[in-house]
Amino acid sequence: MIPPGGPLIVSALLFTIGVVGVLVRRNAIVIFMSVELMLNAGNLAFISFAYALHSLDGQVVVFFVMAVAAAEVAVGLAIIVNLFRLRESVFVDEINLLKG
Amino acid sequence: MILLKIVAIVLPILLMVAYLTYWERKLIGWMHIRLGPNRVGPLGLLQPIADVGKLFLKEEFMPAEANVIIFQLAPMLAVVPALVTFSVVPFGPGPATITDINVGLLLFLAMSSLGVYAITLAGWSSNNKYALLGGLRSSAQMVSYELAMGLSTIGVLIMAGSLSLTDIVHAQRAVPFVVYQPVAFIVFVITALAETNRAPFDLPEAEAELVAGFHTEYSSMKFGLFFLGEFMNVISISCVAVTLFLGGWSGPGPATLGILWFMLKLGALLFFFIWVRWTYPRLRYDQLMNLGWKVLLPLALANIVVTALVIYWRIHA
Amino acid sequence: MIEALFVGFGAAALVSALLVILHRNPVTSALFLVVAFCSLAGIYLLLHAEFVGMVQVIVYAGAIMVLFLFVIMYLNLGQDREGGAATVLRRMIGWLVGALVAVQAALLFAGHWAMGPVSGAPETGLGNTQALGQTLYTRYLFPFEITSLVLLVAMVGAIVISKGRGSRPAPGASAPAERPPRLEPGDRAAPPDGASS
């Protein structure tokens, strides 16, 4: 039997690591990857509650989160590629002007 | 117990992979009206052993600026997903399966998704522009055809009502699904050819294109692993195709003959793979992507819709 | 046995997530993220969510991360080069905020409202996939259909964004910029013109 708070602790720590990644790294793609980490932490929390409360609603929500995350990654990476074409850089410190 | 099953199934598979290379060369020899390998051992049967020996004895190269860890990881990634697929394929009734998980079909799709990494990483870590282009092209090709492959298996899923490969075989005891799902079978076989980077879809790795594609910088046993990994992929996808469409181990006669029927069907499908390789010219990359997205994907979707409509009509009419 | 597997997968997920944000090279970060996703899939399998676990490997590890790797290789990103006092200060603030979030999570768990005693997996008598399908197509039908619209919009959007300004006239050009003619076999190579896209 899995300890009841186990998956939740893992989820919280993963979320924390994702937050640190977004704040510390300056590469837009790595920031995006940290956002994906946070999404997955949320997914893990949903699944662990679905396991504990004997309901499938958690798994259904995870299903939708995965679909939306896939859509978000597609559009986000397209934006990053376009930004790279414009600014020759993916570092968010250098992409800080709206003009152009 | 399960370790014994793993050894009993994986070792013959490895032998089959080695001898598939021999069989391919013999077969294409006969198609070209010449003899294949016939020097090494009686009828050339020791040829694969000679090949492996040659590969072991060659010099190992490491390109100058290559990323060493990923360079050495990529060939392993080519082999492992194909091997994992064998763990869910029902080779015969009862204990002739390593395990039966209730999402077996999804495990197969997951492993074929992971197989993309080998080629992508091989191309990138070689620090060679031709390898990188070959790797990127190949990964785009594999990802595109994975979609059509997954969708073509949904028709089978609707008819069998379960994702477990053993249940799918049981649902075909009377009639194999290829009779009910011919379009899905054709789509699956074509996408299988593209997934395993076999001709006519082998632009990313062909010798005359892009130098040698993603395995330009690989030599000796690392190249051997890619080579064997490709054939292992061919066998594993053929096993899954036999399970999904050709009835798996079902056949006339007692159930204990199951393994024999499975091997016969597998042999027929492998013959088809080898045959196609040496019959059709290579597809250009844009033709290849055209085929995957504009022809096979809509076909697979239409197949799902038609299957669902027919099943619904049969239940409610 | 299951606890040991869970501890193993959990540790693998956390360690590889940490290495994602610590590594300089974006490709290595992406590969560690793949490892993290596969460990998470293992945890999902242990929590009796087999369908979601396999879909996690297929979608996240097998498609989304391939897309990430593709973009990283296409943009030919090398190692991240960063340094300087501002960087160190920013990093310290980042880790501090992270520590605050972790402390917040620890306080939440200490409050004993997170989980009560659990007694097992969802018991419905059907397989996990079948039960999930039934719930999805009856109670969650509308979000399902809307998700398909979301995916369609994302597909169209990604193509439109990455096409760039292909068909609009270049700024400053006297005539609308046209694409160079397709070379047929037998043509001499056309000299490159100075029109920008």
The CA distance from B302 to B307, in Å, is 8
What is the DSSP secondary structure assignment for residue B26, as one 8-state letter?
H
- Which pLDDT score, from 0 to 100, does residue B137 have? 85
**Of C70, C74, C127, which is closest to B102 when you measure between CB atoms?**
C127
**Of C62, C73, C128, which is closest to B124 when you measure between CB atoms?**
C73
Interchain CB contacts (distance < 8 Å): B and C:
68
Chain C, window 84-103: residues with a beta carbon less than 8 angstroms from a chain A beta carbon: 90-91, 93-95, 97-98, 101-102
φ, ψ of residue B46 in degrees (nearest 5)? -90, 10
Chain C, window 116-135: residues with a beta carbon less than 8 angstroms from a chain A beta carbon: 116-124, 128, 131-132, 135
- Which residues in chain B have Cβ-Cβ distances shorter than 8 Å to C57? 110, 113-114
Residue C20 lies inside a defined structural domain of this protein: yes
- By the CB < 8 Å criterion, does C69 face chain B? yes
- Please identify which residue in the block is written with the tokens 């499975």: B262
Which tokens in the block code for residue B32?
Answer: 């070209």
Query: How far out from the chain centre does Cα A55 lie?
Result: 24
Residue C153 lies inside a defined structural domain of this protein: yes
Asked if the model's pLDDT at residue C100 lies above 50, the reply is yes
Q: Are residues C49 and C61 in the same domain?
A: yes
The CA distance from C121 to A50, in Å, is 9
Locate the chain C residue with the closest alpha carbon to B143: C63
Range(s) of the domain holding residue C108: 80-113
- Which residues in chain A have Cβ-Cβ distances shorter than 8 Å to C105? 9, 12-13, 15-16
Q: How confident is the model at residue C165 (pLDDT cuts 50, 70, 90)?
A: low
ipTM of the complex: 0.92
Residue C158 lies inside a defined structural domain of this protein: yes
- Which pLDDT score, from 0 to 100, does residue C169 have? 42
Contact check, Cβ <8 Å, B106/C55: yes
Share above pLDDT 70 across residues of chain B, in percent, rounded to a whole number: 97
Q: How confident is the model at residue B81 (pLDDT cuts 50, 70, 90)?
A: very high
- Model pLDDT for residues B233-258, shown as the tens digit of each residue: 999 999 999 999 998 888 888 878 88
- Model pLDDT for residues B142-176, shown as the tens digit of each residue: 999 999 999 999 999 999 988 899 999 999 988 89
- Which residues in chain C have Cβ-Cβ distances shorter than 8 Å to B123? 73
- Which residues in chain B have Cβ-Cβ distances shorter than 8 Å to C39? none
Residue C172 lies inside a defined structural domain of this protein: no
- By the CB < 8 Å criterion, does C72 face chain A? yes
Asked if the model's pLDDT at residue B212 lies above 70, the reply is no
CB A44 within 8 Å of CB A58 = no
Contact check, Cβ <8 Å, A37/C115: no
Asked if the model's pLDDT at residue A40 lies above 50, the reply is yes
Q: Are residues C101 and C69 in the same domain?
A: no
Looking at residue B65, its amino acid is E
Question: Which of A8, A9, A77, A79 should one mutate to test binding to chain C, selecting the residue with the greatest count of C CBs within 10 A?
Answer: A77
**Residue A93 CB neighbour total at 10 angstroms:** 12
Residue C61 lies inside a defined structural domain of this protein: yes
Average pLDDT taken over every residue of chain B: 87
Q: What are the DSSP calls for chain A, one per residue? A: ---TTHHHHHHHHHHHHHHHHHHH--BHHHHHHHHHHHHHHHHHHHHHHHHHTT-SHHHHHHHHHHHHHHHHHHHHHHHHHHHHHHHS--BTTT------
Contact check, Cβ <8 Å, C69/B67: no
The CA distance from C49 to A46, in Å, is 11
- Which residues in chain A have Cβ-Cβ distances shorter than 8 Å to C136? 60, 63
Element counts in chain B: helices (H) and strands (E): 11, 0
Contact check, Cβ <8 Å, C54/B116: no
Q: Are residues C8 and C75 in the same domain?
A: yes
Residue C195 lies inside a defined structural domain of this protein: no
- Which residues in chain B have Cβ-Cβ distances shorter than 8 Å to C28? 70
The CA distance from B182 to B159, in Å, is 13
- Which pLDDT score, from 0 to 100, does residue C119 have? 44
Q: How confident is the model at residue C112 (pLDDT cuts 50, 70, 90)?
A: low
Taken as a whole, chain C contains a residue count of: 197
CATH of the domain at C63: 1.20.120.1200
Q: What are the DSSP calls for B87-154, one per residue? A: TT---SSGGGSS---TTHHHHHHHHHHHHHHHHHHHHHHTT-HHHHHHHHHHHHHHHHHHHHHHHHHH
- By the CB < 8 Å criterion, does C57 face chain B? yes
How far is C99 from chain B, CA to nearest CA, in Å? 32
Secondary structure in 3-state letters for B159-208: HHCCCCHHHHHHCCCCCCCCCCCHHHHHHHHHHHHHHCCCCCCCCCCCCC
Asked if the model's pLDDT at residue B30 lies above 70, the reply is yes
- Model pLDDT for residues B170-196, shown as the tens digit of each residue: 999 888 999 999 999 999 999 999 998
Interchain CB contacts (distance < 8 Å): A and C:
227
Contact check, Cβ <8 Å, C127/B107: no
Which tokens in the block code for residue B214?
Answer: 């993603």
- Which pLDDT score, from 0 to 100, does residue B210 have? 57
Looking at residue B221, its amino acid is M
Q: Are residues C23 and C87 in the same domain?
A: no
Helix axes B104-125, B220-244, angle to 10 degrees: 160
- Model pLDDT for residues B110-131, shown as the tens digit of each residue: 999 998 998 888 888 887 777 8
**Of B114, B123, B136, which is closest to C62 when you measure between CB atoms?**
B114
Contact check, Cβ <8 Å, C66/B101: no
Q: Which residues of C12-37 are buried (b: 16+ CB within 10 A; e: fewer)?
A: bbbebbbbbbebebbbbbbbbbbbbb
Q: Are residues C86 and C75 in the same domain?
A: no
- Which pLDDT score, from 0 to 100, does residue C172 have? 42
Question: Which of A1, A46, A51, A57 should one mutate to test binding to chain C, selecting the residue with the greatest count of C CBs within 10 A?
Answer: A51
Q: Are residues C27 and C60 in the same domain?
A: yes
Q: Are residues C95 and C61 in the same domain?
A: no
Q: Are residues C26 and C90 in the same domain?
A: no
Q: Are residues C40 and C89 in the same domain?
A: no
User: What pTM was estimated for this model as a whole?
Assistant: 0.87
- Model pLDDT for residues B266-292, shown as the tens digit of each residue: 999 999 999 998 888 888 888 889 999
- Model pLDDT for residues C167-179, shown as the tens digit of each residue: 544 444 444 444 5
CB C44 within 8 Å of CB C52 = yes
Q: Is C179 left (phi over 0), alpha (psi -120 to 50) or beta?
A: beta
Q: Mean per-residue pLDDT for A56-83?
A: 92
Q: Are residues C134 and C107 in the same domain?
A: no
Which H or E run contains B5?
helix B2-31
- By the CB < 8 Å criterion, does C58 face chain B? yes
Looking at residue C129, its amino acid is T
- Which residues in chain B have Cβ-Cβ distances shorter than 8 Å to C182? none
CB B234 within 8 Å of CB B71 = no
The CA distance from A39 to A11, in Å, is 10
Q: Which residue has the higher pLDDT, A77 or B96?
A: A77
Helix axes B104-125, C26-46, angle to 10 degrees: 170
Question: Which of C28, C90, C115 should one mutate to test binding to chain A, selecting the residue with the greatest count of A CBs within 10 A?
Answer: C115
Residue C92 lies inside a defined structural domain of this protein: yes
Q: Mean per-residue pLDDT for C76-99?
A: 78
- Which residues in chain A have Cβ-Cβ distances shorter than 8 Å to C157? 74-75, 78
Q: How confident is the model at residue C196 (pLDDT cuts 50, 70, 90)?
A: very low
Q: Are residues C101 and C145 in the same domain?
A: no
Locate the chain B residue with the closest alpha carbon to C41: B110
Q: Are residues C97 and C75 in the same domain?
A: no
Chains near B (3 or more Cβ pairs under 8 Å)? C
Q: How many domains does chain C have?
A: 3
